[in-house]
Amino acid sequence: MDIPLPFALDVTVQEVTPERVVLLTSDRQRLNWPADQFPADLTPGTKLQIAVATDAFIEQEREKIAKTLLNQILGAGEEKSSDSASTSSKKSGTRKL
């Protein structure tokens, strides 16, 4: 499930050293970032997004994801119970209305 990033900056990895990663923005600004905050296999040319989000925004998105997952789980449970009711109705010769 993707979380929308309303305040994101597209960057390209320009340089990777053991100490830092140099990121290049679309308007050619260079950002130096500690290398230990990136995956070890990061290579120059990799496209990334840097996102800025408030705690409130992140919490809202987490709640939306949790509700969606719960609805999917509960919905799957309802399908199973209606399938089993249908199967038991067939065995007993009755129909569920």
Retrieve residue 41's tokens: 């296999």
Q: What is the DSSP string of 66-88?
A: HHHHHHHHHHHHHHHHHHHHHHH
| Nearest Cα to Cα of residue 7 among 64, 58, 67 | 58
Q: Does 88 have pLDDT greater than 90?
A: no
Q: Looking at residues 49-54, what average pLDDT do you find?
A: 88
CA-closest candidate to residue 31, choices 49, 6, 53: 49
With left for phi above 0 and alpha for psi between -120 and 50, is residue 42 left, alpha or beta?
A: beta
Task: Name the helix (H) or strand (E) containing 56.
Answer: helix 55-92
Residue 52: what pLDDT?
87
What is the value of pTM for the model shown? 0.56
Mean local confidence (pLDDT), 55-79: 88
